[in-house]
Amino acid sequence: MKKRMIRLLGLFVLLFGAVAFTFAQTADERLKKGDEYYGQLNDEKALEEYLAAAAADPNNFEAAWKACRSLIDVGDLVDVKVKGNDDKQKKYYKDAETYARKAVALNADSTWSHFYLSAALGKYALLLGKKDQIAMSKEVKTAIDKAIELDPNNDLAYHALGRWQRRMAEIGGASRLLGGLLFGSIPKGSFDESAKALNKAVELKPDYINHHLELGRTYMALKKYDLAAQEFEKCDGLAIALTKDNGYKEEAKLGLAAAKKKLK
């Protein structure tokens, strides 16, 4: 009887190990496919594979943060002009937040955990009311700062910091006073700090179109129209790397026209 129990236990261990290996292998295979689709700029198929990888192995950190990234990418492409699509977009961002928090729980020492949490929260906050936006802006900043602390070469985190600084700086004067009275203290931002952070992002990854687009917008806010025009012009000559890059190039053309108009 004892030998039989030992044999059964051994068989159970072997079977459990085989099942665990199969799940891990499936997750790895799905991640590989997701990366292939991501490289092909097929955001929806990439998302499908990353979600499948996360389902196959719920404790897979890479699957969690990449699922978050793709949820944001697909959410950004939702046409909110279509009736009902605003709720659809909101769900993508909320689901992205869920996966980002999962990634933080799985690996709190990764810059990507915190960066994608800041990205998901930031996207979702913009669809909410002012009070919720202000409240969430503080957590967004905390996540950005942590991402930079963990990896000072994370260009996307500096990009996020630059946008955060500009967004907060745009709330000024009477609006800040009134908002503070209604919703509590509003974090302060700075256009100069925004330019500093975005210049750092450009330094780290000079071929990323959106870094130049956002830096151009910050220079517009600083009324440095010549510098803004230079950044917008750079966007046109850079290679497409993401699905959203064509849209960024179109936005840069509009920005360039606005900057040139100011320079006349």
> According to the model, what pLDDT value does residue 4 have?
52
Sign, CA torsion 201/206/210/215: positive
Nearest to 106 by CA among 60, 67, 55: 60
Query: How would you write the pLDDT of the chain (264 residues) with one tens digit per residue?
Result: 545 554 544 444 444 444 444 445 689 999 999 999 999 999 999 999 999 999 999 999 999 999 999 999 999 999 988 988 999 999 999 999 999 999 999 999 999 999 999 999 999 998 988 788 888 899 999 999 999 999 999 999 999 999 999 999 998 643 444 444 344 567 889 999 999 999 999 999 999 999 999 999 999 999 999 999 999 999 999 999 999 999 999 999 999 999 999 998
> According to the model, what pLDDT value does residue 133 have?
84
> According to the model, what pLDDT value does residue 115 have?
98
Statement: the pTM of the whole predicted model exceeds 0.75: yes
User: Are the CB atoms for 150 and 116 separated by under 8 Å?
Assistant: no
Q: Helices marked H in 107-208 — which ranges?
A: 111-125, 130-150, 155-169, 173-183, 191-204
Report d(CA 224, CA 226) in Å as an integer.
Answer: 6
User: Tokens 């790397």 identify what position?
Assistant: 241
